[in-house]
Structure 1
Amino acid sequence: MSSTRIDHSPGRELADDTGAFAWLRALGPRGRRAFGGAFGGYALDSYDFFTLPLSMVAIAAYFGLDSGETGLLTTVTLVVSAIGGALAGILADRIGRVKALMITVLTYAVFTVACGFAPNYETLLVFRALQGLGFGGEWAVGAILVAEYTSARHRGRTLGGIQSAWAAGWALAVVVYTLVFHFLPADTAWRVMFWTGALPALLVVYVRRNVEDAPQAAEVRRSSAERGSFTEIFRPRLVRTTLFAVLLSTGVQGGYYTLATWVPTYLKTERGLTVVGTGGYLAFLISGAFIGYLTGGYLTDRLGRKRNIVLFAVLSAVCIVAYTNIPAGANGLVLVLGFPLGFCMSAIFSGFGSFLAELYPTAVRGTGQGFTYNTGRAVGAFFPTLVGFLAGSWGVGGALVFGAVGYGLAVLALLGLPETRGRELL
């Protein structure tokens, strides 16, 4: 039995607390409220993102889109998210983590709902791009908020817990999708899916009332002459870190968003699954993702940030090739392999929150993390579009293999970055 005595100063746990949830107890009351706000924000961020991939077949049919135009809807979201993420990072450094978090959540909620009212493809493209402004900023701001309440000892597991919110939001989106598309005609159902994206607005009320910045970070913001800006992260002492962190983020997210965008379409068009069948298969993928986030968080503390990324980059690439080369009719095998695919492509993300936070000093942490993560997301966003164009000649399954290239880029990027396990945030 472990002791539960906690030093409630943010991120400082007593050495004798070694229980399974020591990382959560060590946050203290304020840190746990911050964790709840960041978890909820990222879960609903995920929910709002997946309203598009899950509705993609219906949207394409409604507006008469080809695969390239359909893939562009995801790409524009992710490209604009780079701008939103970078701006949110600067806001986090200048006005505080909590205020920036509320702005990002409200932004992605408002424009997700607006997508449901789009009268044509061009309008939908614009609304989806604007949704990307909030979508891009939420993760970076929420991850930094929690990282600054966490000690080096537990940071990987704690931020892995935040990452697992993505799977929770994805699962909620699949449940709602299954129900909405089962009871409503497809021409109406895709609009209803976007309208349910208003849910995150409720979270803002909780954050406003209960969450505050970590005291040390707030003090640095008040007293430091440095302010978040792009100039700061490209100064000689940080430029190498910034460039290689962008490449790392590009590789991992290029592989991930290729799968997140096109697997639902692959299951319907090439595996012949119904709406309910697709939901069932995705349940295995998402279950693997949730466990992968938690496991990856644990391993990034045990193995180190870089080793964890290398391990799951290799395993993710192998899973993509295996998943897309299953013989026709062997849908049971698709079901089985969905779990390890979701596990590996999610476990690689668990170290991102802690790794990127540890690469930058407090005064520019928001700017550095927001810029590198979301610029990588924007460049990686062209992977789904390329898959859309390749699908015409290769088939969706064949084109999905291109996602494995991204994981190779991620491994190469690590050659230019230091190992940060055990580093306290300064």
Structure 2
Amino acid sequence: MIRWMKDLTPRENTTLRACFAGWTLDALDVQLFSFVIPTLIAAWGISTQQVGVLGTVALVTSAIGGWLAGILSDRYGRVKVLQLTVAWYAVFTFLCGFAQNFEQFFIFRALQGIGFGGEWAAGSVLIAEVIRDKYRGRAGGFVQSGWAVGWGIAAILYTVLFSLVSEQQAWRWLFWIGIAPAGLVFFLRRHVDEPEIFTRNKAHQPKQSIFAVFSPTYLSTTIKLSLFTTGCQGATYVYQVWLPTYLRTERGLSVIGTGAFTFALILGAFAGFIIGAYLGDAIGRRKTFFVSTVGAALMLVVYLVLPINNTVMLPSGFFLGLFTYMVFAPLGPYLSEIYPTAMRGTGQGFCYNAGRGVGALFPLLIGLLAAKMPLGKSIAMFGFIAYGCMIIALCMLPETMGKGLPDTPEEGKDDASSAPEPGVTSKV
């Protein structure tokens, strides 16, 4: 499964490890919130609607941060912006642990989201431009698997701290630990260089407008990609924000039980990232997206709609995580293969984060709907809406496997719908 890594150059390997660590630590910080929701409800007497607001605000600001980071990475460099975003989300995660009420927590979560969104925008472009075509899909999937690792670490920390320390202190310690990613900045400064394709393009190609993604050449593709990422993001957010609360309230699980069921979902997500990485390079990006979407929709029915007991639900969570998160393995490479170098960060940052911004409304709407109907049904309803968006977009989007990275706007002028068949020699 990792034999291909031995064929990487030292530069590819170092960049791969750095991006994996960044995404892992990003997930650790972001996922802490979902585990402390029941504690915050009890401590501050907040409603499910307010929880939905807290869950949504970081996702909305992350969409803004992601687009800004994409723009800045096209101007100043992928590595420089990656350093900034990692430090940013680590600091504001840490400050969340000092919040005394809903209003303070809201502000810190909103600011944390800017760095959270920016990290993916800079890191995904960096890994796509450094890793050669042959391994780009697998490298993207490996980096994405860091999300499951970070989520798993958050689940372990939650289970341990809430078992040893009072809930009133445990949730604060979780966020204080979130300062750890700041140490990655020093590694990035010393060991990771800007991609050659970026430095070469910056020296010879004019800067592109930040609104180039809306030009006639790219507008149609940008809209379709944004619809697709809306489904991708919305589907995952409903689980990330609300699943631990669903398990503790409607399923009546303990802290340890909630951690165990969540961990099954996380293990499935990790497997999905790895499998999706290989499928993306083997059968193509679009076919992998279809497998992920259809499989996730079917598992959603099993997990939240059918009247299964907890014994059946535990292994079902593994497959729900597998199919739900498989889509993200080839997503970064796919977006990178659409836009040329001068606007790759801007285009990728906008499409991914436009989806994140709209998908961020899902947790909020679930919180509002949960006041009128069972939480499980609310989650399932928005899950199906998300998968519907993905299927519609996929019916209009092209395959890009084998296309390589377009280096100039002229190379990218052929809309993504004209991507060559797999096997065509890459330009990069």
1:286 maps to 266
| Residues 1:343 and 2:338 are matched in the alignment | no
| Residues 1:133 and 2:117 are matched in the alignment | no
Displacement of 1:226: 2.2
1:44 maps to 25
Contact 1:109 1:199 in 2 (8 A): yes
1:13 maps to none
Distance 1:200-1:291 versus aligned 2 partners, 3 A rule? same
1:93 maps to 74
Out of 150, 153, 156, which is 1:172 matched to?
153
Mapping for residues 293-312 of structure 1, pairs under 5 Å: 293-312=273-292
The TM-score normalised by the length of structure 1 is 0.93
Please give the alpha-carbon distance, in whole angstroms, between the structure 1 residues aligned to 2:7 and 2:196. 15
1:67 maps to 48
Q: Aligned to 1:389, what secondary structure does the other structure show?
A: helix
Contact 2:69 2:349 in 1 (8 A): yes
The range that moved more, 153-162 or 164-173, is: 153-162
Please give the alpha-carbon distance, in whole angstroms, between the structure 2 residues aligned to 1:154 and 1:32. 12
Contact 1:255 1:407 in 2 (8 A): yes
Out of 131, 134, 139, which is 1:150 matched to?
131
Displacement of 1:152: 2.5
Gaps of 5+ in 2: 408-428
Gaps of 5+ in 1: 1-19
Displacement of 1:68: 1.0
Mapping for residues 314-325 of structure 1, pairs under 5 Å: 314-325=294-305
Out of 177, 182, 197, which is 1:201 matched to?
182
Mapping for residues 207-226 of structure 1, pairs under 5 Å: 207-226=188-207
Contact 2:197 2:341 in 1 (8 A): no
% identical aligned pairs? 44
| Residues 1:401 and 2:380 are matched in the alignment | yes
Displacement of 1:150: 2.1
1:10 maps to none
Contact 1:241 1:416 in 2 (8 A): no
Distance 1:197-1:390 versus aligned 2 partners, 3 A rule? same
Q: Aligned to 1:324, what secondary structure does the other structure show?
A: helix
1:327 maps to 307
1:238 maps to 218
2:58 maps to 77
1:11 maps to none
Contact 2:87 2:181 in 1 (8 A): yes
Q: Aligned to 1:236, what secondary structure does the other structure show?
A: coil
Contact 2:54 2:106 in 1 (8 A): yes
| Residues 1:160 and 2:141 are matched in the alignment | yes
AA at the equivalent of 2:311: G
Displacement of 1:379: 0.3
Runs of 4 or more above 3 Å deviation = 20-23
How many equivalent residue pairs?
405
Deviations 1:77-107 (A, max 9, x none): 0001111000100111111110010001011
Distance 1:27-1:95 versus aligned 2 partners, 3 A rule? farther
Please give the alpha-carbon distance, in whole angstroms, between the structure 1 residues aligned to 2:11 and 2:133. 18
Displacement of 1:22: 5.3
| Residues 1:188 and 2:160 are matched in the alignment | no
Out of 334, 350, 357, which is 1:355 matched to?
334
RMSD between aligned residues: 1.3
| Residues 1:58 and 2:39 are matched in the alignment | yes
AA at the equivalent of 1:181: F
Contact 1:27 1:149 in 2 (8 A): no
2:371 maps to 392
